[in-house]
Amino acid sequence: MIKLDEINSWTMAVCICCVIACLAEMLIPDPKYEKTVRFVLGSLMLCAMIEPLRSITADSVQISDSFDIEYEADTEQMRKTEKQYIEKKLADTVKDKLTEKNIELNSISVNVGYDEENVPVSVSCRAVLAEKDSRNIGTVRKEIAEILGDESIITVSAE
């Protein structure tokens, strides 16, 4: 049931939109913008007038729930993409730093662990050295620890 307060606030919103529309039309600097401004203001007025219908039909149609589900799915996808990007950048950085020191890697993978609040809490790195650098496992482990941090989990092996 529609309450008197809701009708009062709706009427005020429509009146305010009308006043804003009139002021905006008076302030148009160039007549060539008149059609665009009228379209935008008309859309604003239409939204203000239709607002009560949204509250009446809110019980039967839950549009906002579908938007929330899509938002959560998009957010999760963005987190995965961000995680992959960060891991790739870290792996590239480690590989570049080791290449500068003439250490060749056959492969490297970096994994970043996150907590429930999406805060990075751990970094693990797995590097496979080229056969010619197999004696440098300790050195490579130290270099990676300097780049990623001492608390990182580092695995280095040789082929």
Residue 125 and residue 94 share a domain: yes
Last residue within a domain, chosen from 12, 28, 61: 61
**Residue 47 confidence (pLDDT):** 85
Q: Give domain status of residue 92, yes or no.
A: yes
**Residue 125 confidence (pLDDT):** 86
Residue 41 and residue 90 share a domain: no
pTM, to two decimals: 0.52
Residue 52 and residue 92 share a domain: no
Backbone angles phi, psi at 157, to 5 degrees: -135, 165
Segments forming the whole domain that contains residue 97:
84-158
Residue 89 and residue 57 share a domain: no
**Residue 149 confidence (pLDDT):** 80
**Residue 70 confidence (pLDDT):** 67
Q: How many domains does the chain have?
A: 2
Residue 149 and residue 96 share a domain: yes
Residue 57 and residue 104 share a domain: no
pLDDT digits (tens, 9 = 90+) for 95-120: 888 888 888 888 888 888 888 777 77
Number of helical (H) and strand (E) elements in the chain, helices listed first: 4, 3
Q: Give domain status of residue 116, yes or no.
A: yes
Residue 94 and residue 57 share a domain: no
In this prediction, the residues of the chain whose per-residue pLDDT falls under 70 are 1-2, 55-71, 73
Query: What's 60's DSSP letter?
Result: T
CA–CA gap between residue 133 and residue 114 (Å, rounded): 32
Residue 52 and residue 115 share a domain: no
CA–CA gap between residue 5 and residue 12 (Å, rounded): 11
**Residue 2 confidence (pLDDT):** 59
**Residue 59 confidence (pLDDT):** 53
